[in-house]
């Protein structure tokens, strides 16, 4: 894989890079409650970019992405509880579990197209919950909790998820700007035509799906570290899958900037309204309405719409 | 001997449960077969129907069977609204449903399900409610079956059979089947595709919401805003098992799932593993017989 030259970076890449560097620089100085908000934002951004890899780039809608996140979290809790791993090693273990799982699930489910893929991933996620409920090593349905020796380490958590997100965005850029990107785009527009042109569709899809599982597993690990454990019904909440999907739909599927904008647009209001219970429900209703409107009338999301109607943005946003 | 009786009872209960699963999935099957659209918000309409039955019970003392026609009528109206709100723009003037339109409807109906779940949680809170109605049970030797379940199973099969008769014997039904097979040909013989697709969608919603009312008999406690998260995937699996657009497919898929859950629980000894098996059956079926169990 040839890396793109630094000279070819557009304003979007510099913008995201500057945003991340500013965050990293200011993290030790900002108050803890703000830092936890930022950690949550970065975890969700990682999840949104992870779903973007498969759903945004290939058009395969996955409703079951929560399975990688949940089992990544369980992997971290299991690693720390049983082998006394350092939390960062636990996150790495979560990533490995996520990738292995995505490879296994992808080999089978990526054969199905459109609705069938969406349903198959949903069904696998639900079945995984029912299986985890019965596994003794994973808490027998009660969940796994981190030992109190781990404690609350916001800065360590922040830099772990920061590094993961930075790598993920970098990989997304490299993939979309190289040979693989052309292959994925052709699969998205017409998979049969792509295959006749000699693109190994099965291999490419499996590659991005595994990558996507890797990052979702890592994000799930940090999430479990943040809430000190994984309990089945909270970890496997299908609402997580749906929130990831809402983020990339609102931000703009398949773009480099979209998932980040979508995360900010969905996550920040949800945290602000969380303090007022009545508004919490209303906020979710508004997100649902926005998703409907965007899906039906502005399929490009925020980024796609800006590119379409403001010509000056076309060269800047990607 | 006791084991055989236990097995037979579980098998019978599984078949009864399968009937209600079948009718709940049947509405999805119709919309999937006619409009080639998968309604991700399917579970939320089941939930709305269950709440409809609950409120009819609280206000007027209706039992769940009496609320079936009311819910069905609401379903007809909801179906027409759903067609013009969500599907018309994608289906209008198209000869077939492309993968792109499929994704649009998938994501749009997913947004609808978010709206409905959260609206229900805001209005009715997350408290679990239920309808206390049990007409006793049928006892014969060592066997004991709930009468409510029997009534529901009978009505479920009747609804599926009626929809089959409607689609194969009436002019309107034939028009709907023609539309599902070949849209341009339907237009050539003077049938309005918009009218037919709207009727088909409305009929699907009508059956879905009737099924939601029937389902409450099985849920003495269990009506809650998030209940769609279980029944929507169950319906997806049933429709794929039977084959989308095949009217008897929902019954075959529903009975299969009901038996797997009840008898599987007896053999594996755990309800959640039985559910996991019931869901995962979908994968080998999709791999080996993507057109469904039925020919």
Would residue A291 count as lying in a domain? no
Residue among B97, B279, B284 with most chain A CBs within 10 A, to mutate? B279
Across residues B196-223, what is the average pLDDT?
Answer: 92
Task: Provide the pLDDT confidence category of residue B98 given band limits of 50, 70 and 90.
Answer: confident
The DSSP string of chain A is -PPPPGGG--HHHHHHHHHHHHHHHHGGGS-HHHHHHHHHHHHHHHHHHHHIIIIIHH----S-THHHHHHHHHHHHHHHHHH---HHHHHHHHHHHHHHHHHHHHHHHTTS-THHHHHHHHHHHHHHHHHHTT-GGGTTTS-EE--TTT---HHHHHHHHHHHHHHHHHHHHHHHTSHHHHHHHHHHH-HHHHHHTT--HHHHHHHHHHHHHHHHHHHHHHHHHHTTEE-HHHHT-HHHHHHHHHHHHHH-TT-SSHHHHHHHHHHHHHHHHTTSHHHHHHHHHHHHHHHHHHHHH-TTHHHHHHHHH-GGGTTT--
Across residues A217-228, what is the average pLDDT?
Answer: 94
B2-288: what fold? ABC transporter involved in vitamin B12 uptake, BtuC (1.10.3470)
Residue whose tokens read 């369980």: A74
Rounded to 5 degrees, φ, ψ at B223 are -90, 115
Across residues A207-234, what is the average pLDDT?
Answer: 93
CB-based contacts of A290: which residues, under 8 Å, 6+ apart? A246, A250, B111
Hey, are the CB atoms on B104 and A296 less than 8 Å from each other? yes
Residue whose tokens read 């689609």: B167
Hey, are the CB atoms on A119 and B122 less than 8 Å from each other? no
Mean confidence (pLDDT) of chain B: 89
Q: Chain A contacts of B115, Cβ < 8 Å?
A: 285, 288-289, 292
Residue contacts between A and B (CB atoms, under 8 Å): 128
In this model, does residue B93 exceed pLDDT 80? Answer: no
The dihedral sign for the CA sequence A281, A287, A290, A291:
negative
When CB atoms are compared, the residue of B114, B119, B275 closest to A130 is B275
Q: Chain A contacts of B286, Cβ < 8 Å?
A: 112, 116, 120
Hey, are the CB atoms on B233 and A126 less than 8 Å from each other? yes
In this model, does residue A218 exceed pLDDT 70? Answer: yes
Tokens of A128: 């995984």
- Residues B86 and B76: their CA atoms lie apart, in Å, by 15
Would residue A228 count as lying in a domain? yes
Across residues B53-75, what is the average pLDDT?
Answer: 92
Structure confidence at residue A90 (pLDDT) = 93
- Residues B75 and B82: their CA atoms lie apart, in Å, by 10
CA A248 to chain centre: 9
Across residues B217-229, what is the average pLDDT?
Answer: 87
Would residue A119 count as lying in a domain? yes
Would residue A276 count as lying in a domain? no
Please give the span between the terminal C-alpha atoms of chain B, in angstroms, as a whole number. 37
Structure confidence at residue A2 (pLDDT) = 62
Distances (CA, A) of B222 to A148, A253, B75, B227: 36, 37, 21, 8
In this model, does residue A280 exceed pLDDT 70? Answer: no
In this model, does residue A16 exceed pLDDT 90? Answer: yes
Q: Chain B contacts of A249, Cβ < 8 Å?
A: 107, 111
- Residues A110 and A254: their CA atoms lie apart, in Å, by 18
Closest CA to A254 of A10, A44, A57: A57
- Residues A215 and A51: their CA atoms lie apart, in Å, by 9
To the nearest whole angstrom, how far is the Cα of B136 from the nearest Cα of chain A? 32
In this model, does residue B165 exceed pLDDT 90? Answer: yes
Structure confidence at residue B43 (pLDDT) = 93
Structure confidence at residue B36 (pLDDT) = 84
In this model, does residue B295 exceed pLDDT 80? Answer: no
Pair B114, B40: CB distance under 8 Å: no
In this model, does residue B217 exceed pLDDT 70? Answer: yes
Q: Chain B contacts of A118, Cβ < 8 Å?
A: 38, 106
- Residues A69 and A203: their CA atoms lie apart, in Å, by 23
Each residue's pLDDT tens digit, B233-289: 999 999 999 888 888 899 999 999 999 999 888 888 888 899 999 999 999 999 988
To the nearest whole angstrom, how far is the Cα of B36 from the nearest Cα of chain A? 10
In this model, does residue A275 exceed pLDDT 80? Answer: no
- Residues B12 and A7: their CA atoms lie apart, in Å, by 71
When CB atoms are compared, the residue of B38, B114, B280 closest to A288 is B114
Residue among B114, B237, B291 with most chain A CBs within 10 A, to mutate? B114
Tokens of B3: 């084991």
- Residues B164 and B150: their CA atoms lie apart, in Å, by 21
Tokens of B201: 């969608």
Would residue A103 count as lying in a domain? yes
Task: Provide the pLDDT confidence category of residue A46 given band limits of 50, 70 and 90.
Answer: very high
3-class secondary structure per residue, chain B: CHHHHHHHHHHHHHHHHHHHHHHHHHHHHHHHHHHCCCCCCHHHHHHHHHHHHHHHHHHHCCCHHHHHHHHHHHHHHHHHHHHHHHHHHHHCCCCCCCHHHHHHHHHHHHHHHHHHHHHHHHHHCCCCECCCCCCCEEEECCEEEEHHHHHHHHHHHHHHHHHHHHHHHCHHHHHHHHHHHCHHHHHHCCCCHHHHHHHHHHHHHHHHHHHHHHHHHHCCCCECHHHHHHHHHHHHHHHHHHCCCCCCHHHHHHHHHHHHHHHHHHHHCCHHHHHHHHHHCHHHHHHHCCCCCCC
Closest CA to A159 of A265, A24, A312, A286: A24
- Residues A108 and A111: their CA atoms lie apart, in Å, by 6
Count of positions (residues) in chain B? 295
Residue whose tokens read 């089992």: A71
Pair A164, A46: CB distance under 8 Å: yes
Would residue A243 count as lying in a domain? no
In this model, does residue A57 exceed pLDDT 80? Answer: yes
Pair B232, B42: CB distance under 8 Å: yes
Structure confidence at residue B2 (pLDDT) = 62
- pTM for the model stands at 0.91
Q: What ipTM does the predicted assembly reach?
A: 0.89
Hey, are the CB atoms on A285 and B122 less than 8 Å from each other? yes
To the nearest whole angstrom, how far is the Cα of B138 from the nearest Cα of chain A? 32
Hey, are the CB atoms on B110 and A242 less than 8 Å from each other? yes
Closest CA to A89 of A78, A76, A102: A76
Residue among A63, A115, A135, A240 with most chain B CBs within 10 A, to mutate? A115
Structure confidence at residue A277 (pLDDT) = 66
A151: containing domain: 31-238
Would residue A261 count as lying in a domain? no
Across residues A182-196, what is the average pLDDT?
Answer: 91
Closest CA to B147 of B138, B159, B157, B156: B138
Q: Chain A contacts of B292, Cβ < 8 Å?
A: none
Ramachandran area for residue A114 (φ above 0: left; ψ -120 to 50: alpha; else beta) = left
Q: Which of A1-15, A273-287, B166-180 has the highest mean pLDDT?
A: B166-180
Q: Chain A contacts of B107, Cβ < 8 Å?
A: 61, 245, 249, 291, 295
A59-A60-A66 Cα angle (round to 5): 125
In this model, does residue A1 exceed pLDDT 60? Answer: no
CA A5 to chain centre: 26
Would residue A269 count as lying in a domain? no
Domain count, chain A: 1
In this model, does residue A117 exceed pLDDT 60? Answer: yes
Share of residues in chain A with pLDDT > 90 (%): 53
Q: Chain A contacts of B243, Cβ < 8 Å?
A: none
Hey, are the CB atoms on B111 and A291 less than 8 Å from each other? yes
Across residues A10-39, what is the average pLDDT?
Answer: 91
Q: How many CB atoms lie within 10 A of CB B17?
A: 22
- Residues A20 and A164: their CA atoms lie apart, in Å, by 12
Across residues A202-208, what is the average pLDDT?
Answer: 94
Hey, are the CB atoms on B89 and A296 less than 8 Å from each other? yes
Across residues A108-125, what is the average pLDDT?
Answer: 91
Structural Rg of chain B based on CA atoms = 19
């Amino acid at each position: 894989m040839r890396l793109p030259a630094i000279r070819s970076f557009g304003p979007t890449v510099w913008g995201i890079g500057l945003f991340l560097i500013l965050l990293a620089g200011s993290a030790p100085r900002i108050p803890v409650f703000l830092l936890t908000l930022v950690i949550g934002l970065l975890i969700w951004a990682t999840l949104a970019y992870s779903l973007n890899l498969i759903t945004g780039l290939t058009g395969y809608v996955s409703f079951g992405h929560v399975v990688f996140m949940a089992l990544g979290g369980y992997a971290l809790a299991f690693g720390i509880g049983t082998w006394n791993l350092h939390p960062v090693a636990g996150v790495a273990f979560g990533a490995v579990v996520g990738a292995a799982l995505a490879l296994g699930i992808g080999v089978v489910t990526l054969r199905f197209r459109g609705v069938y893929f969406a349903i198959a991933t949903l069904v696998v996620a639900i079945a995984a919950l029912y299986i985890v409920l019965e596994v003794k090593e994973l808490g027998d349905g009660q969940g796994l909790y981190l030992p109190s020796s781990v404690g609350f380490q916001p800065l360590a958590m922040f830099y772990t998820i920061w590094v993961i997100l930075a790598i993920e965005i970098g990989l997304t850029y490299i993939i979309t700007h190289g040979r693989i990107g052309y292959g994925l785009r052709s699969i998205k527009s017409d998979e049969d035509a792509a295959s006749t042109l000699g693109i190994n569709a099965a291999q490419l899809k499996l590659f991005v799906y595994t990558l996507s599982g890797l990052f979702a597993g890592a994000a799930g690990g940090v999430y479990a570290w943040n809430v000190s454990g994984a309990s089945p019904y909270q970890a496997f909440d299908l609402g997580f899958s749906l929130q990831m999907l809402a983020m990339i739909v609102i931000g703009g599927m398949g773009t480099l900037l979209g998932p980040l904008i979508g995360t900010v647009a969905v996550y920040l209001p949800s945290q602000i309204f969380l303090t007022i219970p009545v508004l919490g429900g209303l906020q979710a209703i508004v997100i649902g309405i926005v998703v409907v409107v965007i899906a039906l009338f502005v399929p490009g999301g925020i980024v796609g719409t800006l590119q379409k109607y403001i010509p000056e943005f076309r060269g800047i946003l990607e | 001997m006791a084991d055989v009786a236990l097995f037979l009872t579980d098998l019978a209960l599984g078949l009864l449960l399968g009937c209600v699963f079948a009718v709940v999935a049947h509405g999805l099957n119709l919309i999937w077969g006619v409009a080639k659209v998968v309604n991700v918000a399917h579970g939320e309409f089941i939930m709305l129907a269950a709440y409809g039955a609950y409120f009819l019970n609280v206000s007027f003392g209706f039992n769940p069977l009496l609320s079936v026609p009311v819910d069905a009528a609401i379903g007809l109206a909801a179906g027409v609204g759903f067609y013009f709100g969500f599907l018309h723009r994608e289906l209008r003037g198209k000869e077939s449903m492309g993968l792109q339109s499929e994704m649009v409807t998938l994501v749009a109906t997913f947004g609808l399900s978010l709206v409905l779940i959260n609206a229900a949680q805001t209005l009715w809170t997350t408290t679990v409610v239920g309808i206390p109605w049990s007409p006793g049970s049928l006892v014969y030797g060592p066997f004991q079956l709930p009468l409510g379940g029997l009534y529901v199973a009978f009505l479920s099969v009747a609804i599926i059979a009626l929809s089959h008769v409607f689609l194969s014997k009436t002019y309107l039904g034939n028009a709907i089947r023609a539309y599902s097979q070949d849209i341009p040909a339907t237009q050539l013989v003077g049938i309005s595709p918009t009218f037919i697709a709207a009727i088909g969608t409305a009929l699907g919603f009508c059956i879905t919401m009737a099924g939601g009312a029937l389902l409450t008999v099985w849920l003495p406690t269990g009506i809650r805003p998030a209940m769609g998260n279980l029944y929507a995937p169950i319906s997806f699996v049933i429709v794929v098992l039977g084959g989308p657009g095949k009217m008897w497919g929902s019954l075959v898929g529903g009975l299969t799932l009901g038996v797997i859950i009840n008898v599987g629980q007896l053999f594996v000894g755990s309800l959640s593993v039985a559910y996991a098996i019931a869901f995962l059956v979908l994968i080998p079926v999709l791999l080996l017989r993507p057109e469904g169990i039925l020919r």
